[in-house]
Amino acid sequence: MEKIIDNSRIEEYLKKAAAPDTIELNEILSHARELKGISFKEAERLLLVESAEGIDRLAETANFIKEAIYGKRLVLFAPLYVSNMCNNECLYCGFRKSNKAISRNTLTMEEIGKETEALINQGHKRILLVSGEGLGKSALDYTIDAINTIYAVKIPKGNIRRINVNIAAMEVEHYIKLNAAKIGTYQLFQETYHEQTYRQMHKSGPKSDYEYHLGAMDRAMEGGISDVGVGILFGLTDYKYEIIALLQHIKHLEDKFGVGPHTISVPRLEPATGSDIASNPPYPVTDSDFRKIIAILRITVPYTGMILSTRENASMRREALHLGISQISAGSKSDPGGYTKKEHSDAQFSLGDHRSLAEVIEDIVDLDHIPSFCTGCYRLGRVGKDFMDLAKPGLIKAHCYPNAIFTFTEYLEDFANDRLKEKGYALIERTIKESIAGLNLEASVRKNIQAVKDGKRDLYF
Ligand code: SAM
Ligand code: SF4
């Protein structure tokens, strides 16, 4: 297999390169403001910016790009953990095989149905199905049954319209089957691109094979999955190394398949039962580093979604919104059965944001952003390269804004209290005036809002 990560080039660069001076920084940031992304070489230069003033300028530029391309909207989802059985020894994870401190559980289809109902009754429309790697040969069949079970739940408060999946690396033939089950994005985090660190962190089990794990996105795309989601678990090694390697991975996928990942997830290590590494990360990423990471990714790949989970606390999540995060999870539980049971002792790691979906939504509205449950692109087949072709000329707003408004109107009608309804409709009105009016869509947007108020559901452009 062609080498995806050029380790020696990254190490050489980080050893020798100096931070960009003001002239170089100005040049890169004005290039970024053209909204076409910057070269990966330029991104490598930004990684070396260390001054507080320089990082503020990265944040301002990221915010400019985020507002221009995405506007004020934020997509919401919830993870659904179906099994915490695992045959791997990822040293940072509460689900690792040798951890005796948690009880193991794989949900039955009936339990998955109940969890799905609980999520729908909160207002969710998008789920990320998550599992440990402990189900052996039946793992794929089980996952496909779970997907079918989730999609089949249709109750008065609605149904799940998109299931993204975060499960272990597989063979191409397995990805073909997974794709046929109508998943949205297939996510798999590399955790660390640094091979030596990877081997230290993944002592045994199928995930300990660095090359196999790194090749998963190639196999997923060869298996026909158009939207793949990559991620780094920050804290395992130098974040600068990780970002340069991530960009090499993206370049490899772009060169080979004509399109890079649909999303990038940016989890930071959180404490997990019995894991020293999770509590004391070898390379802790400070809040300031974390802001810089998000800003640089937004500047470099402006059309790739960026996902932040409830690992982060509410204040970091608020800040990250302005730096270009486009999706967040909300009201999450990271233990199988977590949405229907009262005790939560079997979680994968501890969460930083325990607020309910309703609380998160009100906060987003107070931050002047439209909470979105949109699944339009996926439903209309605007995926992979087609999505990027649509996104790149700046058309995200013309679709995402209206669809965010329609799904938020559904939420307001079906789940919101009077206070949120008042705030929510005022925000929709402002958004139409400030952002939709110039798009020549106002009449059709208003027509659809009225249709949702009259009882129609699942409208999108
Ligand atoms: N088992 C599959 C795998 O490992 O790829 C998929 C699901 S795994 C439960 C999802 C992700 O949780 C992992 O990829 C890892 O990045 C993240 N994770 C594990 N332990 C964590 C911790 N202590 N803090 C934050 N994230 C963690
Ligand atoms: Fe298992 Fe995934 Fe946790 Fe590793 S990260 S122990 S593979 S659940």
Q: What are phi and psi of 166, to 5 degrees?
A: -125, 90
| CA end-to-end span of the chain | 41
Q: Can you give the pLDDT at residue 395?
A: 66
Mean pLDDT of 395-399: 75
Torsion sign over Cα 55, 366, 77, 333: positive
Distance CA 161, CA 142 (A): 20
Q: Can you give the pLDDT at residue 377?
A: 74
Atom of ligand 2 nearest to the CA of 93: 3
Q: Can you give the pLDDT at residue 384?
A: 79
Distance (angstroms) between ligand 1 centre and the Cα of 154 equals 30
145-183 per-position pLDDT tens digit: 999 999 999 999 999 999 999 999 999 999 999 999 999
pTM surpassing 0.85?
yes
pLDDT classification of 393: cutoffs 50, 70, 90: low
Domain boundaries 68-355, corresponding CATH code: 3.20.20.70
Q: Can you give the pLDDT at residue 399?
A: 82
Atom of ligand 1 nearest to the CA of 93: 20
User: Contact 217/230 with Cβ under 8 angstroms?
Assistant: yes
User: In this structure, which residue's CA is closest to atom 2 in ligand 2?
Assistant: 132
Distance (angstroms) between ligand 2 centre and the Cα of 276 equals 16
Atom of ligand 2 nearest to the CA of 168: 7
Q: Is residue 151 packed enough to be buried (19+ CB in 10 Å), middle (13-18) or exposed (0-12)?
A: middle
pLDDT classification of 434: cutoffs 50, 70, 90: confident
pLDDT at residue 194 tops 80: yes
Instruction: Please tell me whether residue 339 adopts helix, strand or coil conformation.
Output: coil
| Domain segments of the chain as ranges | 68-355, 384-453
pLDDT at residue 447 tops 70: yes
Distance (angstroms) between ligand 2 centre and the Cα of 133 equals 7
210-256 per-position pLDDT tens digit: 999 999 999 999 999 999 999 999 999 999 999 999 999 999 999 99
Binding site membership of 82 for ligand 2 (Cβ less than 6 Å): no
Binding site membership of 95 for ligand 2 (Cβ less than 6 Å): yes
Count of C-beta atoms within a 10 Å radius of residue 393? 9
Looking at every residue in the chain, the average pLDDT score rounds to 93
Mean pLDDT of 313-317: 90
Q: Can you give the pLDDT at residue 2?
A: 66
pLDDT at residue 274 tops 90: no
Binding site membership of 189 for ligand 1 (Cβ less than 6 Å): yes
Q: Can you give the pLDDT at residue 344?
A: 59
Q: Can you give the pLDDT at residue 449?
A: 96
Atom of ligand 2 nearest to the CA of 205: 7
Q: Can you give the pLDDT at residue 1?
A: 54
The full DSSP string for 228-271 is EEEEB-BTSS-HHHHHHHHHHHHHHHHHHHS---SEEE--B---
Distance (angstroms) between ligand 2 centre and the Cα of 86 equals 6
Mean pLDDT of 3-14: 96
Percent of the chain residues past pLDDT 90, beyond the cut:
82
Q: Can you give the pLDDT at residue 368?
A: 94
pLDDT at residue 394 tops 60: no
Distance CA 321, CA 56 (A): 15
Distances (CA, A) of 161 to 127, 153, 375, 379, 459: 8, 10, 7, 8, 12
User: In this structure, which residue's CA is closest to atom 18 in ligand 1?
Assistant: 93
Q: Can you give the pLDDT at residue 127?
A: 97
Distance (angstroms) between ligand 1 centre and the Cα of 168 equals 10
Q: Which of 246-260, 361-375, 380-394, 444-458 has the lowest mean pLDDT?
A: 380-394
Torsion sign over Cα 118, 120, 123, 126: positive
Atom of ligand 2 nearest to the CA of 131: 8
Task: Tell me the two tokens of residue 54.
Answer: 């320089």
Q: Which of 41-55, 114-128, 303-317 has the lowest mean pLDDT?
A: 303-317
Q: Can you give the pLDDT at residue 95?
A: 95
Binding site membership of 96 for ligand 1 (Cβ less than 6 Å): no
